[in-house]
Every structure is written in C-alpha cells, then in structure tokens.
Amino acid sequence: MKNAVAIDLGSANTVIYQVGGGVVLSEPSVVAFDVGSKKKVKAVGKEAKNLIGKTADGTEIVFPVVEGQIVDEKAAGAMVENFLNKISTNKFGLRPQVLLSIPCGLDNAEIKQYERAFNSAGVYGIDFVESPILSALGSDAPITTSTPCFIIDIGGGSTNIAAVSLDGVIAGVNIGIGGNSIDATIIKCVEREYGLKIGSLTAEKLKISIGSLYENEVNYAQINGRDIAGGKPRSVTVPSGKIYSPIKHVLDKIFEVADMVMSKLPAEVSAEIRSNGVYLAGGTAKIPGVAEYFSRTMAIRANLAEYPDLANAIGGSKVAANHSLLKKVRIHA
Ligand SMILES: Nc1ncnc2c1ncn2[C@@H]1O[C@H](COP(=O)(O)OP(=O)(O)OP(=O)(O)O)[C@@H](O)[C@H]1O
Ligand SMILES: [Mg+2]
C-alpha cells in the first residue's frame, strides 16, 4: 500500500491528510524542548501549546514556522517526525510520500531547507506545491489551466492573497497579518477596557468563542486575567461587541490588500474572477460573518470553503492522488 500524505505546515496549525483516509492530524505547530545538555523534545502539538506561559526555565517553546515559513529547521524536523509517528500507518514502517504546501516565491535555498527538515523527519519523498493553488483546490474553486480564481487564505501568522490558475500564481502576496494579529489586538483592547492583562491563549479563546463580524450579534464570555493596577487575578465577562472592532480592524487591512492585488490584474482575469467570486479559506475565515462582510465591503461574491482550516490540506490530498495534476503544479527544487 502506498502511504501518501498532504501536509499543511502552517504557522498556527499543522494538518496532515492521508490520501484515501482523510484528515489524520490537526495540531498546533509548536514544540516544547527540555533544555538540558541535549535538547530533547518534551511535547509537540496540543500538549506543547498547553505549556505556553506555564513552564519553568528548563523548557523552551518553539514555533518552527513563522508567517508560513520555516524559521527553525531542526525544530520543524523534530515536530514533523513526532506528528508522523502519531499517524498509524507510519507505525508499520511505511515511510510517507509527502505533498507539502509551501509559500509562493521561495528560492531554491529556502526549498532545500524544507527538504532537509522533512528528510530528517524520515519521509520517503517530498513534492512541493505553492500554497494558494492547494487552498483553491481545497475550497472547490473552479480552477483549471485557463480558469483563474482568487483565493484569500487567512491563517494564524499570515494571509495569502492570490489569483491563481493551474498554470501557477498570476499575482499574489503573503502578508504577516492573520488570526494572531487579531489576538494581539484583543489583548490590547481588554487591557484598555477592563484594566486586565490576559495572555494570547485567552485572547484566542475569546475570539473563537464569541468573535463575530455580525455587528448585532450578542454573546458573552468570561475570561480570567491579572489586574494591571493591583496585580491580583480577576475575571470579567466580555460581550462580543467589545471585540468586534479588533476583528474588523484586522480584516479591513487584509481586504484592503486584496483589493489592491485585484485592481492590478489583467482585464480578462479580473472579469473571470468577478463572475466566479473570491474564495475564502484559512482558520480565521471561520469567524462568523467573514464572507458576508467581504461581499458587502468589496461588492464581490465571497465563497467560504466548506472546511476553511483544512482547505489547504484537502487540496493537497487531491493533488497527491492525481498524478497528472501533480505533474502540472509541482515546483522543482
Ligand atoms: N472557529 C474559529 N473562529 C475564529 N478563528 C479561528 C477559528 N478556528 C481557528 N481560528 C484561528 O485561525 C488561525 C489558524 O488558522 P490556520 O490553521 O489556517 O493557520 P495556519 O495555516 O497554521 O497559519 P498560516 O497560514 O499563517 O501559516 C488561528 O489564529 C486561530 O485562532
Ligand atoms: Mg495556512
């Protein structure tokens, strides 16, 4: 049996899709190391994320991927190796053939870095495909060699905005704004409004539980933090309206860049995109009302992927399962 997987090595989350088997892993892209004489892996994924802010000096928490790109090759290799070991087929010693999503426009040296990290994780072989093509395929966009589509993948550390066809990326940018920027803005907002200091995990939970771009929606969430003046722990109940503007602020910036990319497209491409609408993917696109908000402000239909946070890996699995498609879209290192 062939062991083929598609991997989306995101700055926030790693998703592994087993061809023929579905999503077999979705965990935070985090490693915790024991900083002894030999740097040993203490925890990866969910377990490592739970250690954030709670560890003593002996533990180092590493996010090996930042803004969609590997910044720590060794940590990335260790993380991927641990993730692959969690997947059952790997336990029979069947090393996987990996289809990996990479940011657009990497040079050869940067691609080699991915190759080294994955080889150290013990993969059989690796193919590279540029991220927006996979997110488009995984969002069921009608993309072919002659039909371009416009994809906005709003992730944790970055947002990929691109017009793509199966021939490649027509125009695109990768900006360092995403869900993490919303969390950071929420932290500041809670500090200002309630005099309360909260951590990034709390800000993220608040965003996921009550964040919305439906201005009139009212939900509440209770959060714990530290009183800035007195230093004591304190909890407050936050209504969704309070975090509407941090969310809107970040998405407005993203949509402004999307508008700029769109305005520079060749006329034929632009006409095709206007008639099909844009496609939204990435975990941050799960905020309720994102597609409607986009359509309203940009006057273009927005199609939300069925599984926004998994779209990239789903697209990867479609390519990994189709040899002629793979030949068409893979990048040669
Ligand atoms: N239901 C939800 N509502 C709002 N935000 C969410 C939800 N689920 C996940 N997110 C946010 O989505 C972001 C992660 O998205 P995703 O998994 O697409 O990122 P990534 O691919 O790891 O990052 P990048 O593409 O920047 O490298 C995080 O900021 C997370 O808080
Ligand atoms: Mg991503």
Which residue among 187, 284, 310, 314 has the greatest number of ligand 1 atoms within 8 angstroms of its CB, and so is best to mutate?
A: 284
Say what the pLDDT of residue 58 is.
86
Kind of pairing between the strands at 97-102 and 69-70? unpaired
67 — pLDDT class (breaks 50, 70, 90): confident
Segment 14-29 shows an average pLDDT of: 96
Query: Do residues 176 and 11 make contact, with C-beta atoms less than 8 angstroms apart?
Result: no
Among the residue ranges 6-15, 88-97, 294-303, the one predicted with the least confidence is 88-97
> How high is the mean pLDDT of the chain?
94
Segment 301-318 shows an average pLDDT of: 98
Tokens 């190796």 belong to 81
- Residue 37 alpha carbon to ligand 1 centre in Å: 35
Share of the chain above pLDDT 90, in %: 89
Say what the pLDDT of residue 56 is.
76
SS3 302: strand
- Residue 205 alpha carbon to ligand 2 centre in Å: 19
54 — pLDDT class (breaks 50, 70, 90): confident
Q: At residue 93, does pLDDT exceed 90?
A: no
Look at ligand 1, atom 20, and give the residue with the nearest C-alpha. 10
Residues 100-113 have pLDDT tens digits of 999 998 999 999 99
Say what the pLDDT of residue 35 is.
87
Q: Which residues contact 310 (CB under 8 A, 6 or more apart)?
A: 15, 17, 23, 26, 138
On the CB side of 184, how many CA atoms lie within 13 Å of its CA? 10
Say what the pLDDT of residue 37 is.
67
Please report the domains of the chain, with CATH numbers, ordered by start residue: 4-133+314-329 (3.30.420.40), 141-304 (3.30.420.40)
92 — pLDDT class (breaks 50, 70, 90): low
Look at ligand 1, atom 13, and give the residue with the nearest C-alpha. 156
Residues 136-161 have pLDDT tens digits of 999 999 999 999 999 999 999 999 99
